[in-house]
Structures are given as structure tokens and as C-alpha cells.
Chain A
Amino acid sequence: MSGERLAFALAAAVAALFALAILFAAAALARRAFNQRRERRSARLEAGWTPHLLAVLSGDAAPAAWVPQVAAGDRALFVDFLLRFAQRLRGPERAVLAAVAEPYLDDVAHRSRRGGEERRAGAVQLLGALGGARRAATVRAALDDPSPLVAMTAAQALAAQGRAEDAAAVLERLPRFREWSAGFLAAMVARMGAGAAPALRSLLADPARAPGDRAVAAEALRIMHDAPATDAASAALSAGDDADLRAAALRLLAAVGSPADAPAVRAATRSADPVVRAQACAALGALGDARDAEALAALLDDASPWVVLHAARSLKALGGGARLAAAAGRSGAALARQAAAELA
């Protein structure tokens, strides 16, 4: 490249970079001005809507008495405004909000099928919170949206509504959500309430389903304190070889099981997996009896500190304080000593 051309290129680069810097600054300032104007407008509109909505929600005015005059350009703002109330309200008040929102939800339903995934997910969230049973079919359809984000938003919306008839649909799609944490999925599914328990028990008992999905079902049943789930949990514990599933089944048994489940739990204390052994120790504290003290005392020498801690806790719960003290006094039993000191 000749010197002249190089100089020209450098000069062009300088001009372009400074133009770019000015453009970035102008865009940032324009964005700022746009956001501020939108926030001011939104605050003004909401200040007008809020007293009417509160009057309707408190029963001082009938829902039909308030027909908000919402300009076409403000409809999205209005449903977002209602959404914020809907996220905090349940029962009849939620139904009142749904009635107020209904005239605007056709647009939202349309949005749930068009545009980017965040836009579709946002629409599904609105329909779930404000659409009630009338829009449930649209939300259910979103479970099969190609985007996992939209599908998860639909599952969360259906779970929050707590309709038993949606349980099967959500549980069938659990394989779509395998990337999500099991604890999160279990909490979400548990929100469906007692009506979903039979479907969850079936899932836990079904050896054809993936162990991860069954573990989610076990955790959800534990959160729900579902006592009839013990048979399915015992079966999963005895027949399964997946450590996560067995640990989840043990947590479920510890929460809702009975002494009749103790034999399966005792067997699990001999598992090769330390997580399973630790959960078995914890469950034995709830379901076992004084006869288990010897086995628990032996587990105070386990290599896993989690097993030792749970064994120590259970031993103490079953009246084996003296055995725990004796184990702690032995040389080389550092973990047991620490656990005993903590529980003293």
C-alpha cells in the first residue's frame, strides 16, 4: 500500500471512529430521553387507573362500572399494570383482574404466537396471570412452543393456576426441561397443589420414565407432604439404581413415611453412593428405632462427613447419645468428634 493510500485509510478510520463515538453518545442520550418519557407517561396513566382498579378490587365498584379508556398505543402498558397486581393477588381478586383485562387479551394471545421468544414468553406470562380458564388452552399450547423459554413460562403459568387437569400436560413435558434444576422444577410442580398428586405418584412409580423426572416428582411430593406417596417412594428406592432418584425417595420417606418403610431405608445405608447413605441416615432418624443405633454408630466412621453428620443427628434423635459420645472419644474419629460437639 502506498504511503498516500495508507494515510487516506488512517484518516478515514479516524473520521469513522469519531463519527461512531458521536453516534453511540447520541443513541445513548436518545434512549435515555425515550425511557424517561415512557416512564413519565406510564406513571401518569397508572396514577389515573389505580384508584378505579382499587375501587373495583375492594368491591366498592362493580367491575362493569369501570371501562377504562385505554388508547391503542397504551394497551401493553395497561395489561402490564394489571399483571403487577395479578402477581400479588389470588382467588376472587384475580378473577376481577381477569375480567378487567379480558378485552385486551386477544392482542396478547396473538403476540404469544408471533415474534421473538422473549415477546412470546411475555405474552404467555400475561395470559397465565390474567387469562384464567378462558385462555388456558392458549397457554397449554405454548407448552409445545419450539422455544424452551416459552414452554417453561407456560409450565410456570399453568402450575401457578393449580388446575389438576393441567398436571398431566406439564408432567409429560418434563423431559423438555431437563436443563433446569431439579429443585426448581419440583417447587414449580408442587405449586399445582394436591390435585396434581395422583399424577405425580404415577410418575414416581413408573420405571419407564427417566430417573431425573421421577426424582422431580419425589421432591414435589415431599414439598406437598403427600402421605400416600410412600409406596411409590419405597418402590423407587428399592428398585432404582439412580442415586438422585434414590436420594429423593429417601427425603420423601423421611418426610411422610412410617416405620413400615424402615427396612428399605436400612438397606440404603449400605449404598455405595455417599449421598444416598447420608439421606438414608437422615431418614432412619425419622423412621427407625433404637435397634438402628448400632448401624448408625458404625456409620460414624464413614469417609463422607455428610454421612457422619446425618448419622450423628439420627443417633441422637433415637436416644443414642451415649454411643455418639463414645464414638467421639475414640482416636481417629475426628468427624464424629466434630459432629458430637456440634450436637452437644
Chain B
Amino acid sequence: MAALGWDALWAVNILVVAYFVLLNLFYLLTSLVAFRALRRYSRRLELLDTEELIASGGVPPITLIAPAFNEEATCVEATRSLLTLRYPEYEILVVSDGSSDATVARLAEAFELRPAARATMASLPAKPVRAVLRSRVHPNLWVIDKENGGKSDALNVGLNHCRTPLFCAMDADGLLERDALIRVVRPFLERRDTVAVGGIIRIINGCEVSRGAVTRVRLPRSLLAQFQVLEYLRAFLSGRMGWAALDATLIISGAFGLFRRSIVVDAGGFATDTVGEDMELVVRLHRLCRARGTPYGVTFVPDPVAWTECPETLRMLGRQRDRWQRGLSESLARHARLLFNPHYGRIGFLAYPYFFFLEMLGPAVELAGYVAFAALVVLGRANGPFVALFLLVAFGFGVALSIAAVGLEELSFRRYPRLGDVMRLFALAVAENFGYRQLSTYWRVRGMLSTLRRKKGWGVMTRRGFVPQVVR
């Protein structure tokens, strides 16, 4: 019996080592591919004359759909920033998802909203609309007040009212950079069968904001937020960029993505029974396009930026990561037939298995590894030097990949002008291995358990708002 127990412990450790090797190989692969793709992208960017593109009139109109739930602290500033975007033709639909605070009242006062009729162009099922309002001073700004049904439901209401060939799904509390739309639309111009494009999300905490635009980029003061800056750099510049270069984009962030309206309507809109509606939609679009047998493109572009506020307390961050993990698990479980399915090409054989085995199940394996390692050490069955060396390899990989992500940032967009911020990012690449990563694993395991318990809902996210950070 005891021998069986030791065998099980060793089996867990071997599984953990295999997981660790595979995960880091994937990270290495996407980082290397992203390096090449970013260099290429930066060179191509020099060929882009945004003024000419705006003046030419050759870009399709876009509708920005911004679902808002109790966003009274940020909604006016965020909407004002949307009104200053540099794009020839766009509409803004702010969809208040049954807000119980003064979101609609603040918007109505700030933008002189008046009741208006607007015919729907699709009939995706959604909660009833209470009022449609249009700004007297900005005719392209509409606010739709509806009964509470969740973010996806609000997006579907926006889609029903959308009249442009493309729509941008975003968070009402995010800030888009002024050229974000003209940059994110590019893949739709260069490849007419593009159905979805994601942009990069960056963290606004610590930055200076004036008149709805980020005017000075700095690292946040909070250590927790600083770790997240590094995580976002890794996730977007190494991860998403790498997957896009491999033509296997499976996630587009709900905070900023541009989609072809018709195909999303054909696919049935956003799923309302998952908190991972962004990823679920992208996976469903892959399935729909493959089923139709038509060529299509889903990709990521690294320079159109949406700025977002990240959580600065452990409680909020834990909730967010719990929700992300639930969203990931629900999306993947719902589309399990993609796994190793040759019909889905790289998605079925590369991206889906990566997210399924390494991102969805990974946290459990990692946690099991910590426990098994600890058990072997406590029971005196572990070879000390081996354990130490293995942990050092894991640590070294983590540091090298994080520093590579900071390097990619320096190679491409260099958003952090202060040398001190860059040096701090290097230091964070080391420090995050002592506590922060383990906490992340814990939250993700909690998210897995929440999925199994079929927990629903987003949890509360308190926003500080952009105004207190304004430096005048």
C-alpha cells in the first residue's frame, strides 16, 4: 500500500515535470514567433499613413458597443474619450445593463440625451430595452438602457441595434487610444475575409490621464498592479502575438475586439450562459467558418491600445482570475470536439490542446505538483539537489520568458519611457516567482472549482475611476 502511495507521488511529479516542459516550450515557441512577427509588424507600421487612410474614405464604418453596469464613476470620462477617436465614420452605443446607480443619468446630463427611436437590424434574444436615447450634441452617440442580463446580453442588444459592417466590443470603463480604430481595422482592409481582430490591453493604473486620453505612461505604485503590467506584456506581446503569427488566435479580449457584424449575428451573438463570452465567441466563429468551408481570418494586432484599470486588492484580483478561469473552462468544455480534430487544422491540433491541457488543466497540475513536491521533501524521499535544481530551472524559465516579454516591448512600442520603469519590470520578472505566481495558481484552481460547482456571475469590481488619477 505504501509503495503504491510512493508510486502515485512520483507519477504526479513526472506529470508536473512533463507539464512544465510542455508549457515552457509553448511559451518559448510563441515568444520566438512573436519576436519575428513584431519586428515585421513594426516595419510595416512605418508604411502606414493614418492621415491618408482616414482621408481616403476607404475604411468601413464601425459601431462601438460599450456595455456598462454601474459605471457612474467612469462612464462620462470614458464616453468622452470615445467621442474623440480619429476615425472617419463611427457610432457609439453605450448599453446600460440595468445599472442601479446613476450611470444613465450621468450620461444623459453630460451629453444631453433625448429619447429616440432606432430600428433593430437583428433579433438576437436579449432582455427588454427600457429606453433608447440619443445625444443632441453628438449625433453618433446613443445610450440604450435595458434590463439587467449580463455583459453578453448587453452586447447582443448592441448588436441588434448595430448597422455598420464592423463592430467593436469593449468595456465601457476602458479608454481607447485615439488611433486605436484606424489601426485595428487594418486586417479587415488587407484581408477581406477577416472576421475578428483583437487589440492589446494595457494597464492604466499609475498613468496620467487628461481629457479622456493617456498622456503619460508610468508603472502603477501598487506592487500587485505592477505584477499585472508584466503579466499583460507577457500575455499580449508574447502570447497573443505569437498565436496570431501561428494563425491560431483563439482569444480576443472582451475589452477590445473588432468583429464582422454579419458573421457574429449568424453565429447567434454572444453566449449569455458563460462568463467567458469573448473566448467562447471566437471559438464559435472558428467552428462556424470551418463548417461553412469559407476562408476566414482571426488575428491580433499589437499597437491599437485599450487602457483598462486593473484590480489593486487581492480580493478583487482573485475574483477576476476566478472568473477568467471559469470563462476559459466553460468555453473549452463547450467546444470540446475541436480537440485534435483535423477539420480544425492548427486550431484543433495546436491552440485548442494548448489551452485545454496547459491553461485549463494546468493550475490543477501545478498545485498537485507543489503538494507532491512538498510531501516528498517532508517525508525525506526527495533528492534535495534535484529538487533545488528543478526549482531553479522553473524559476529561470519564468524569469527568462518575462524578461523576453519586456524586451519585446522595448523592441516594438516602448511605452514606458522611464528607464526606472523598465528596470523595475526586470526586477518584477524575478520577484513574481516568490508568491505572486503561486497566488495566481491558487486563484485559477479556485476558478476550476467554481466551474465544477457551476458558479455563475461576474462578482463585483469596484472602479476608482480615471478622474482621481488625472494630473493637470
Interface size on A, residues (CB 8 A): 53
Among B190, B383, B422, chain A packs the most CB atoms within 10 A around the CB of B190
Chain A proximity mask over B95-121: 1 for CB below 8 Å, otherwise 0? 000000000000000000000011111
Q: Which residues of B contact A335 (CB under 8 A)?
A: 119
Q: Is the interface of A mostly helix, strand, loop or mixed?
A: helix
Assess whether B51 is in contact with A342, with CB atoms less than 8 Å apart.
no
Chain A proximity mask over B113-149: 1 for CB below 8 Å, otherwise 0? 0000111111000000000000000000000000000
Q: Which residues of B contact A305 (CB under 8 A)?
A: 119-122
Q: How far is the CB of B209 from chain A (nearest CB, A)?
A: 25
Assess whether B389 is in contact with A88, with CB atoms less than 8 Å apart.
no
Assess whether A160 is in contact with B47, with CB atoms less than 8 Å apart.
no
Assess whether B419 is in contact with A32, with CB atoms less than 8 Å apart.
yes
Interface size on B, residues (CB 8 A): 47
Chain B proximity mask over A195-231: 1 for CB below 8 Å, otherwise 0? 0000000000000000000000000000100000000
- The segment out of A55-63, A165-173, A181-189 that lies at the interface is A181-189
A133 within 8 A of B: no
Given the known inter-chain contacts A24-B407, A32-B422, A121-B47, please indicate yes or no for A338 contacting B389, CB distance below 8 A. no
How many A-B pairs with Cβ below 8 Å? 133
Partner of B47, one of A6, A125, A223, A306: A125
Q: Is the interface of B mostly helix, strand, loop or mixed?
A: helix
A290 within 8 A of B: no
B14 within 8 A of A: no
B59 within 8 A of A: yes
Beta-carbon contacts under 8 Å, A306-343 to B: 306, 308-309, 335, 338-339, 341-342
Give Cα A122–Cα B45 distance, bound, in whole angstroms: 10
Q: Which residues of B contact A153 (CB under 8 A)?
A: 47
Give Cα A314–Cα B149 distance, bound, in whole angstroms: 36
Beta-carbon contacts under 8 Å, B39-58 to A: 40, 43-44, 46-47, 49, 51-52, 56-58
Given the known inter-chain contacts A32-B419, A305-B120, A309-B119, please indicate yes or no for A7 contacting B190, CB distance below 8 A. no
Q: Which residues of A contact B410 (CB under 8 A)?
A: 28-29, 31-32, 35
Beta-carbon contacts under 8 Å, A15-30 to B: 17-18, 20-21, 24-25, 27-29
- The segment out of B302-310, B390-398, B435-443 that lies at the interface is B390-398
Q: How far is the CB of B25 from chain A (nearest CB, A)?
A: 13
B residues neighboring A (CB under 8 Å): 40, 43-44, 46-47, 49, 51-52, 56-60, 117-122, 188-193, 383, 385-386, 389-390, 392-393, 396-397, 399-400, 403-404, 406-407, 410-411, 414, 419, 422, 426, 429
